[in-house]
Amino acid sequence: MNRKLLPSLLILGLSAPVLASDDWGDDSWGEEESASPQWHGFVETAVGGRVQDDPALPDEDLTLADLRAQLEYADYLGDSRYSIKADLYADGVEHGLHGELREALIDMSLSDNVDLRLGQQVLTWGTGDLLFINDMFPKDWVSYFAGRDDQYLKAPSASAKLSYYHDRANLDLVWTPVFTSDLFIDGERFSYFNAMAGQQTSMHLIPDQPDKGLDNGELALRLHGQTDGTEWALYGYRGYWKQPNAMSTGGQVYFSRLNTVGASVRGNFGGGIANAELGWYDGEDSDGSNPRLPNDQLRVLLGFERELIPKLTASAQYYLEWTQDHAALAANDGNSPYRPDEKRHLWTLRLTYRAMQDNLILSWFNYWSPSDQDMFMRPSMTYRVDDSTAVVVGANLFSGEQAHTFFGQFEDASSVYARVRYSF
């Protein structure tokens, strides 16, 4: 084959079907989108591999190998909207065909100012950018580390969300009857540092779940409003730590009780957007002396985002995780070399550059902790070929001075990935 012909063929193949004129070539005006039930979704293929071997997972070079289809259907039943969004994917890393119900919900208005959303749903609130203080809804860290689409960082839960709206303030109440933990790093796809063994392990982490029962569900609430464009919110949560960071005397990991309260503000500031959020994490170990239970924490976040030059936006966040009663922990943990610092300082930086009429997006996001001396870098490049096809390449790169720190333990999880998606 003529070598010069190949690139031009590729370009032709990738080009969108050219529309004959300004007309859309169909009568999309004629049919109103919401008038009839809608099927939508995408098919996607994604691969990712480690940039270095993980001695704890010697046979696992791949970190991502998905062949995925997402189907979504939504319609109205009277004035109530219902929607179903389901993923089916063949996973070449955790071997097998998996299904995930992302959404199966019904949206109802109980009165002019009361809404109820019932069912499997993804929930988000709070002001952090990839940092969460008062958002206690489940997250999927495995997907996040593997380089799946950002939407998979938020895992769904079967919940009831009741919202009350008023001129002055609005109230959201979310009840999740069965505790839904994060999808945490459990040794299957990525190894983790085991402080008891003092080494990296891929031992499958299977924590005890709280008993199912009315008292063991999760309750989250948010009171929020807006004053002159500045959004404020107060938060509360009753449930469990979303990661299994408690251990029984027998050595079994489990989710311990957690209540949180917090607040946030967000608004225009200095030509950009500023936000501040704090949260008080109140666990079972009130005096901090039990090393098998997480201590109470104060978490603080400050953020600022603005456009630097046209098409280039930058944002920075400072985050503090302040472990309370640190002296009591230090006195009781057998002088553990893996004891977390009293204050974990973390900075994030995000740079987003949009080019080619927004079809090419270069993104850089990194976490950097001067106290843990570790880092997590997330560069990515998204290219929108046309209205249905998009290609993403990126990397998740961890580095750290010590083997046990938050990001440092995942050094061997560093990977590069690529995804191609066709949406319809």
Partner 1 sequence: MRNLMRAAVAALSLTAASFTAAADLTDVNTIVEQANLAAYYKGNDGRSEARMVITDAQGRQQTRQFTILRHDEADGGDQNFLVAFSRPADVRNTVFMVAKHTQSDDDRWLYLPSLDLVKRISAGDKRTSFVGSHYFYEDVSGRNISEDEHRLLETTAEHYIVENTPKDPASVEFSRYKVWIDKNNMLPVKIEYTDDADKLYRRVEVLAVEDVQGHPTVTKSRVSDLISGGFTTMEFRFLKYDIGLDESVFTERSLRKLPRNWLRRPKS
Binding site for partner 1 (CB under 8 A): 15-16, 18-19, 22, 24, 28-29, 32-35, 40-42, 76, 79, 81, 107, 115, 117, 121-125, 150-151, 153-154, 163, 165, 167, 170, 224, 226, 229, 231, 266-268, 271-273, 275, 305-307, 310-311, 313, 354, 356-359, 384, 386-388, 390, 423-424
Q: Is 126 left (phi over 0), alpha (psi -120 to 50) or beta?
A: left
Q: What is the distance between the alpha carbons of residues 206 and 188, in angstroms, rounded to a whole number?
A: 11
Cα 257 to Cα 347: distance, rounded to the nearest angstrom: 28
Residue 196: partners with Cβ closer than 8 Å, 6 or more residues away: 247, 251
Task: Please report how close the Cβ of residue 420 comes to partner 1 at its closest, in angstroms.
Answer: 13
Q: Residue 266 Cβ, how far from partner 1 at the closest point, in Å?
A: 6
**Measured from the CB atom, is 200 or 275 closer to partner 1?**
275
CA distance 102 to 89: 13
Tell the smallest beta-carbon distance from residue 306 to partner 1 (Å): 5
Please, which residues have CB within 8 angstroms of residue 97's CB and are 6 or more apart in sequence? 88, 89, 90, 91
HSE at residue 339, side-chain half, CA atoms within 13 A, is: 22
Exposed/middle/buried for residue 99 (C-beta within 10 Å: 0-12, 13-18, 19+): exposed
- Of residues 230 and 286, the one with the C-beta less far from partner 1: 230
CA dihedral defined by 157, 160, 161, 163, rounded to 10 degrees?
180
Best CA proximity match to 405, nearest among 378, 375, 366: 375
Q: Any residues with CB less than 8 A from the CB of 317 and at least 6 apart, and which?
A: 128, 129, 131, 301, 302, 303, 304, 347, 348
- Closest approach, Cβ 111 to partner 1, in A, equals 13
Smaller CB separation from partner 1, 137 or 255 = 137
Work out how close the CB of 45 gets to partner 1 at its nearest, in angstroms, rounded to a whole number: 16
Closer CB to partner 1, residue 188 or residue 305?
305
Q: Between 282 and 305, name the residue whose CB sits nearer to partner 1.
A: 305
Least gap, CB of 252 to partner 1 (angstroms): 34
Which of 137/410 has CB closer to partner 1? 137
Q: Are 325 and 287 in contact (CB under 8 A)?
A: yes
Q: How far is the CB of 313 from partner 1 (least distance, A)?
A: 7
212 or 311: CB nearest partner 1: 311
Cα 412 to the chain's mean position, in Å?
A: 21
Name which of 5 and 356 has its Cβ closer to partner 1. 356
Are the beta carbons of 309 and 299 closer than 8 angstroms? no
Residue 10's Cβ-count burial label (10 Å; 0-12, 13-18, 19+) is exposed
- Alpha-carbon span 191 to 204, nearest angstrom: 9
| R_g of the chain computed on alpha carbons | 23
Q: Token digits for 135?
A: 């958002």
- Minimum CB distance to partner 1, residue 6 (Å): 18
Q: Which is nearer to partner 1, 229 or 334 (CB)?
A: 229
CB of 123 to partner 1, least distance (A): 6
Closest approach of partner 1 to the CB of residue 33, in Å: 4
If the CB atoms of residues 205 and 349 are measured against partner 1, the closer one turns out to be 349
Closest alpha carbon to 110 in 102, 100, 118: 118
